[in-house]
Structure 1
Amino acid sequence: MSVRKDQLVTVEDLEIFKVELLSAIRQLLMDRNGGTPKKWLKSAEARKLIGFSPGKLQTVRNSGLLAFTKIGGNIYYDQDDLLRLFSEHKQKRKD
Structure 2
Amino acid sequence: MLGDRGDIVAILWAEHDPLVVPPAQDRNNKILWVGRVASEGSLQIKAHLIGSDRSVTRTVDGGPGPSIIDLPDAGCWSLDLTWGKQHDHLQLEYAPS
The higher relative CO (CA closer than 8 Å, separation ≥ 6) is in 2
Higher Cα Rg: structure 1 or 2?
A: 1
User: Greater strand percent: which structure?
Assistant: 2
Q: TM-score range by the shorter chain?
A: under 0.3
- Scaled by the length of structure 1, the TM-score of the pair is 0.25
- Scaled by the length of structure 2, the TM-score of the pair is 0.24
